[in-house]
Structure 1
Amino acid sequence: MTVLERPNFTPDTDPRDVIRWALAQHPDALMPSAFNLNGVVLLDLAVQAGYRGEVVFVDTGYHFPETLRTRDALRERYPSLTFVTLHPAPDAPQDTYADDPDGCCAARKVQPLQSYLRLRAPGALLNARSREQATTRADIPFVEDGGARLRVNPLAYWTREMLETYAREHDLPVNPLYWDGFLSVGCWPCTRAVRPGEDARAGRWAGKGKTECGLWVGENKL
């Protein structure tokens, strides 16, 4: 992507405009999702912006039942999209989340998605990260390059309040755990509710010295 092709987005740019730009640049774009609040909002906005591609979910084998029901509700609500569920390899290690959380994430979440992306080879990924979620995401731009593909963050500047308001106004099927304080829902062994004053991802891998699974940061990032 050349400098001339990069649009002049501002923090007030409508996420749908970011999505439309991404689809014009890369019609083969895909959307990985774990169906958190951000992901549900992004999915709805993407459909409005003309996205008709794949929504790719990695079922690690440790998801909450509420997460799987949220996926199913979204699949029913958006029949124009193709929902793809990936699984770890049969020989992926099991029950290592306590002793080796990094290895568990790598084998059961990152590797299945990486393998699928190598097969599909999309030019861009639409993802739902926002700056307010965690200090590790505080500086993300609308468009990240420098890797195997563009990473497009249409919700980069949206706040939690904006996301919640949008979800309520559009009656979106948000994971019910969110309203119980699970502001970022991952696998059940490594997710707890967020305490007052903590950022949205503080309940992920609490006490394990990490806040990212490895999909978006690190040497194996997407």
Structure 2
Amino acid sequence: MPFEADLPEAIDVSALNGALREAAPQDILAAALATAPGRTAMVSSFGAESAVLLHMLSRLDARTPVLFLDTGQLFAQTLDYRKALARQLGLTDVRDLRPAYADLALHDPKADLYRTDTAACCAVRKVAPLNVALRNFDAWITGRKRFHGGDRMHLPVVERSDGKVKFNPLAAWGKIELDAYVAEHALPAHPLVQAGYASLGCWPCTKPTQEGSDVRSGRWAGSEKTECGIHTLRRGPDPTGEDVGGGI
């Protein structure tokens, strides 16, 4: 069921989630693209597990916009991997989203905000740029999975987020399914995976994952923070001074 003009609220998210709850990731992804033709984007970190969903997308429509948050504090290996993987998969519309220079000058002029306020750092470098980019879309696709734990344990396949529809095609997949898909399609691993990074974000806030720990335990290690903010509901003004509404 495609969106009516500029009216994503017309979608019955509960019914759509129910219909797709047991569907294969490829079918969920196809449904996402069909729900809002030309108005759907994938958000990808090009991280440790990203190749799976990006490969599925390349098989369905390699022209789909892929939004990549280049925070200015990513590992160099991630930037290299983003270029190499996009080229290998034939993705033709990967968009690099960067924080606004004015926001950095005002809120993080020394690039050390992460030392004192990781939430504010993520808001400037991730949430604000993505808020702006998503204004052009009615639906978006993420690579989140329930086995990552935390708030993701009860992740629906389809949900509503700030008036948009968000799809999580890999919600039900675990490491076994991911590894099997990677092996079947000979997908290249992120170069830092062999160094023990099971989940990757910005270099100041990401450490190798300890054996036996949760996949995302290396993210903001030692703090209670588990999400950067792009998947949590936010209301009111963000650190950039803009009212971002209900969050993304």
Q: Secondary structure at the match of 1:193?
A: coil
2: distance between equivalents of 1:124 and 1:188? 29
Which residue among 86, 106, 131 is the counterpart of 1:75? 86
Q: CA deviation at 1:23?
A: 1.2
Which residue of structure 2 aligns with residue 53 of structure 1?
A: 64
The answer to whether residue 103 in structure 2 is matched with residue 88 in structure 1 is no
Correspondence 1:17-28 to 2 at 5 A? 17-27=27-37, 28=39
Which residue of structure 1 aligns with residue 8 of structure 2?
A: none
Which residue of structure 2 aligns with residue 42 of structure 1?
A: 53
Structure 2 length-normalised TM: 0.83
Q: Which amino acid aligns with 1:112?
A: P
Do the aligned partners of residues 209 and 83 (structure 1) sit closer, same or farther apart at CA in structure 2, a change above 3 Å counting? same
Q: Which amino acid aligns with 2:202?
A: C
Q: Secondary structure at the match of 2:40?
A: coil
Measured on the aligned residues, the alpha-carbon RMSD in Å equals 1.7
- Choose 50-59 or 153-162, whichever is displaced more: 50-59
Q: Which amino acid aligns with 1:55?
A: V
Q: Which amino acid aligns with 1:83?
A: V
Which residue of structure 1 aligns with residue 160 of structure 2?
A: 145
Q: Which runs of 4+ in 1 moved over 6 A?
A: none
Which residue among 140, 150, 157 is the counterpart of 1:135? 150
Do the aligned partners of residues 80 and 72 (structure 1) sit closer, same or farther apart at CA in structure 2, a change above 3 Å counting? closer
Structure 1 length-normalised TM: 0.92
2: distance between equivalents of 1:51 and 1:75? 10
Q: Secondary structure at the match of 1:21?
A: helix
1: distance between equivalents of 2:175 and 2:116? 32
Q: Deviations over 1:12-36 (max 9, x none)?
A: x211110111111111210111112
2: distance between equivalents of 1:101 and 1:201? 16
Which residue of structure 2 aligns with residue 182 of structure 1?
A: 197
Q: CA deviation at 1:10?
A: 3.5
Q: 1:54·1:83 contact (CA, 8 Å) conserved in 2? A: yes
The answer to whether residue 19 in structure 2 is matched with residue 2 in structure 1 is no
Q: CA deviation at 1:172?
A: 1.4
Q: 1:23·1:51 contact (CA, 8 Å) conserved in 2? A: no
Q: Which has the larger radius of gyration?
A: 2
Do the aligned partners of residues 174 and 188 (structure 1) sit closer, same or farther apart at CA in structure 2, a change above 3 Å counting? same
Q: CA deviation at 1:174?
A: 2.2
Q: 1:70·1:173 contact (CA, 8 Å) conserved in 2? A: no
Count of matched residue pairs = 219
The answer to whether residue 170 in structure 2 is matched with residue 170 in structure 1 is no
